[in-house]
Chain A
Amino acid sequence: MRPLTEDETKAVFEKLANYIGKNIVHLIDRDEDDQYCFRLHKDRVYYLPLPMLHLATSVARPNLISLGTCMGKFSKSGKFKLGVTALDWLAKYAKYKVWVKPTGELPFLYGNHVLKAHLGRITEDTPEHQGVVVFSMADVPLGFGATARSTIQTRDLDPAGIVVFHQADVGEYLRDEETMF
């Protein structure tokens, strides 16, 4: 476990900025008694409160499996990939959101893209290829993805057209249980 280097920090922030934009500031700059930090452990980036960090230092490296919130992992080539475990933080600070109808929840949770027919609501002025967080109509975060069309363009789309490209969903907790941690 170690702090991120500058390059790694940049890679992480670039990915996060795609979903929460300027709200990353709220992840870094927090209240004095609620400090959080980013740590790298076995190629995975964790976001954890400081007291937890102090506790975790007493765990030997091979024994430490996970701590805090896993934001994602670095590939061998140095690229950062956001994981579904980061969904809670993304949902909290998301800039652009997409709500899917109850009929569309299951298809999305099986790893499919969000279709126009399943689109319940979408944030105004969402541009194309923007990272969005997908919610159910009851405001439960289901996953995240990238928009295929801008908000205006979706109006003209036929019902089978893809609105949001799937990137991660909470169904992965079941589907990728073995490889997730």
Chain B
Amino acid sequence: MDVSQQLADYAAANAAEVLERPTPVELDTGLLAAYDTTPVDADEYKAALEPHLLALTLTSTQALLAGLFSLPTKSSEHGPVAQLADPTFVLPREKPLPKPKPLTKWERFANAKGISHVKKDKKVWDDERQEWVARWGRDGKNKDAEDQWLHEVKNNGSDPTIDPRATAKAERKARTEKNAKQHARNLAEAAASPLSTLDRKPTAGTASQGEKANARSIRKAELDRGMLVSKVSTASLGRFDKSIEGEPRVKGIKRKFETNLGDHASEKASAMDVLNRLGTAERKRAPKKGGSGVEGGVNTRKAVRYEERAAQLANRRDGKSGGGRGGRGGKSGRGGRK
């Protein structure tokens, strides 16, 4: 039975429009991705956007599927499974790079002296046991001295009553203690470091020595100020608190005056300046027109009125002798006398 005709018909019916690509489609089967680097045909893109995009997608998808089928397969209970190659595309990092850790005191010292430090392995070879054992910790090699079943007492005049096991353990504990202390100090220094607390520079590496010193001095001043404030933050404003020995004295603001025998010209100039400003202030403070103290201290309006009243009074007197008007004149006369 020849089905080639039917197959050809089926293929013709389902034939997808695969575009011709000048540069082949790149595949990254590890990420199940296909990259079509051929530039987009502007005319096609403008003429019919949707069909063109569809055709592009189809081309890339077909290339990817073809690539997948060319991969080596492995049989499984679900049928053959393609083995994907390792991804070749390098994805950018999601998170920013970690900040450099602050150096410990020893690291700083080693850097300054140019000491190259090789990190010790965690395991050491034990010749007696013929195996690698931990340098410290559980069954650590550092406990050999205290764990031995027999302790040799050297004949060098040392006290035989001293328990060598306890001594060895105490020494080991002291070393641990010292290291814990140093670690704590390193942590504290890193926390108090101006770069971590003040955030003046984003990274420790870029801050110059001067900037670091400056930030440190700022931090120190802040701490000093905080200490002073907290000292007087009691009910008695620190008056009845015990003073601690060796504590720095609180320094107030010192008054500063001009030198006694300084430049006389400048002193004169400043005095004149004060005087000029005094003048403007006086002018501002002076009463408004019509009030007392205007025009050489004479209130002209009042003076004129006074004179008028006096004249009226004189008039009335004259009028009274002649039998003229009286009532109004009397009133005005009283006003004039005040």
Contacts and interface: CB of A to CB of B under 8 A. Distances in A.
A93 to B, nearest CB: 13
Contact of A17 (B282, B298, B337): B282
A66 interface: no
B269 to A, nearest CB: 10
Nearest to B276: A25
Contacts of A110: none
B267 interface: yes
A152 B298 contact: yes
A25 B292 CA distance: 26
A150 B292 contact: yes
Nearest to A147: B297
Contacts of A37: 264, 267
A119 B272 CA distance: 36
A10 B278 contact: yes
Interface in A1-41: 1-3, 5-6, 9-10, 13-14, 17, 22, 24-25, 28-29, 35, 37-39
B323 interface: no
A126 B260 CA distance: 39
A117 interface: no
Interface residues of A, number: 33
A50 B262 CA distance: 11
B293 A127 contact: yes
Interface residues of B, number: 26
Nearest to A9: B274
Contacts of A10: 274, 277-278
Contacts, number: 67
A29 B257 CA distance: 22
A28 B261 contact: no
Interface string A44-80: 0000001001100100000000000000000000000
B258 interface: yes
B218 interface: no
Given A2-B257, A13-B278, A150-B297, A127 B292 contact: yes
Contact of B297 (A22, A35, A127): A127
Interface of B: 257-262, 264, 267-268, 270-272, 274-275, 277-279, 282, 292-293, 296-298, 303, 306, 337
What 8 A-B pairs come out closest when comparing CB atoms?
Answer: A127-B297, A125-B296, A125-B297, A3-B258, A127-B293, A2-B257, A9-B274, A28-B271
9 contacts: A2-B257, A3-B260, A3-B267, A13-B274, A28-B268, A35-B264, A50-B264, A57-B260, A150-B292
Given A3-B258, A13-B271, A28-B272, 12 more contacts: A2-B258, A3-B267, A6-B270, A13-B278, A25-B272, A28-B271, A35-B264, A127-B297, A128-B297, A150-B298, A152-B303, A156-B337
Interface of A: 1-3, 5-6, 9-10, 13-14, 17, 22, 24-25, 28-29, 35, 37-39, 50, 53-54, 57, 124-128, 130, 150-152, 156
